[in-house]
Amino acid sequence: MLTKMTLTNFLSFREKTIFDFTPSKYGILNETNVSSNGVLKGGFFVGPNASGKTNALKGINFLLKLMKGENIILKWNKCLFGTEKRFQAAYEFLIQGALVSYTVGFDVEQECLDELLVVDGKKVLARRGTHGELNLGENLISDDQLDGQTAYLRTASFNTGRFPQHPVLHELMEFILNSTCIDGDNFEAAIVKHVEMYAEKNGVDALNCYLKEFHYDFFVEFGSQSQGEDVALNYGDQKHVFMKRNDFQLPMPLALEAQGNRVFISMLPHLIDAIERPGMLLIDEFGNSLHNNLAEKIVRFFMKKADQSQLFISSHGTNLISNAVFRPDQIQMVTFHGKRGSTVERISKYKPREAQNLEKMYLGGMFEGLPDYGEDI
């Protein structure tokens, strides 16, 4: 699980910025929001528009894209207003009790990628430019023809079949490859297609099971036809996901449903995967189109059901700034300071008491990350 991320000259984080995902001394929500290995089950990035919340998620997603081989233009991750030509992203994980540190940097002028992977203080992988070395304990493997846009850790994992001879690295790669980022910018366009693909592969039993646990007043069907309330829909050879209310079973194709229903139903497959398989679920603009109570329920549900997975979200939903949803050390306040760039502070830094109303304190200006729009009109 991810315990720390450090971004330097990365997007809006010009200065070295540390994101801490280890629990502080707070005892609140210990049984649900802290994993059995002592790591926080994720974090909540909050702040004004254009403060850097999405960029914080992009810091984590940068690692996912590198390891999954997704299309990525490395130089675009450098801070635009930074004078340094190199950006760096460093990650620390706790895997099977071992501390794993992975650092990746890129020089935009020389187009030079460098990497360093250390497990419990022992260097396992190092790379500079096109030259890389891998040491799994048996022998040292060298490669002088590495692709300039592909992470050596991904290449080494692929060549070895995800490090079967190294249980810690094997679990690390499984954890990363099981992780998903839901991009708020492109989410709407992929909603229906993603759910239909999930239903085609897995059926809808798990979806309906989760909907029932949420006490959600709908269930789903998958097929070419559906009927109810004297309405019959038939799409021939084309299969679709249909939604029906429990107490009024009028069939409705997911594509024609209310946006809130589409967003929630499309989120469920990702939520199920993250709960049932160790990994990270990243959601940008979480809560858009969802009722406040449902957004809170999703977070609490994840924290209760998942143990070895993490949920990282950005949102403007201040109702989530609550000791009933997140611990103070999970709430990361992001602020933009002009040429200095974005900074981050955890609410736990201000040592609020567990009984205090964090949302009210935040809106009252007692923490960072609150926008100032002047006097009321």
Alpha helices by DSSP H, the chain: 30-33, 53-68, 152-160, 167-177, 187-202, 205-213, 259-276, 292-305, 358-363
User: Contact at 8 Å (CB) between 133 and 125?
Assistant: yes
pLDDT of residue 204: 96
Give the integer Cα–Cα distance in Å for 137 and 327. 40
Q: Which value, in Å, is the radius of gyration of the alpha carbons in the chain?
A: 22
pLDDT of residue 188: 55
pLDDT of residue 187: 55
What is the pairing mode between strands 280-283 and 252-253? unpaired
Helix (H) and strand (E) counts for the chain?
A: 9, 19
pLDDT of residue 185: 53
* Residue 67 DSSP SS3: helix
Structure tokens at 11: 């997007």
Per-residue pLDDT of the chain (377 residues), as tens digits, is 999 999 999 999 999 999 999 999 998 999 999 999 999 999 999 999 999 999 999 999 999 999 999 989 999 999 999 999 999 999 999 999 999 999 999 999 988 999 999 999 999 999 999 999 999 987 789 999 998 889 999 999 999 899 999 999 999 999 999 999 987 555 555 567 889 999 999 999 999 999 999 999 999 999 999 999 999 999 999 999 999 999 999 999 998 999 899 999 999 999 999 999 999 999 999 998 899 999 999 999 999 999 999 999 999 999 999 999 999 999 999 999 999 999 999 999 999 998 899 999 999 888 877 777 777 66
User: Contact at 8 Å (CB) between 353 and 323?
Assistant: no
Domain ranges of the chain: 2-179+279-363, 187-264
User: Contact at 8 Å (CB) between 298 and 197?
Assistant: no
* Residue 198 DSSP SS3: helix
User: Which DSSP symbol is given to 28?
Assistant: T
Domain spanning 2-179+279-363, CATH architecture: 3-Layer(aba) Sandwich (3.40)
Structure tokens at 132: 């890389």
With tokens 């990361």, the residue in question is 332
Q: Which amino acid is at 180?
A: T
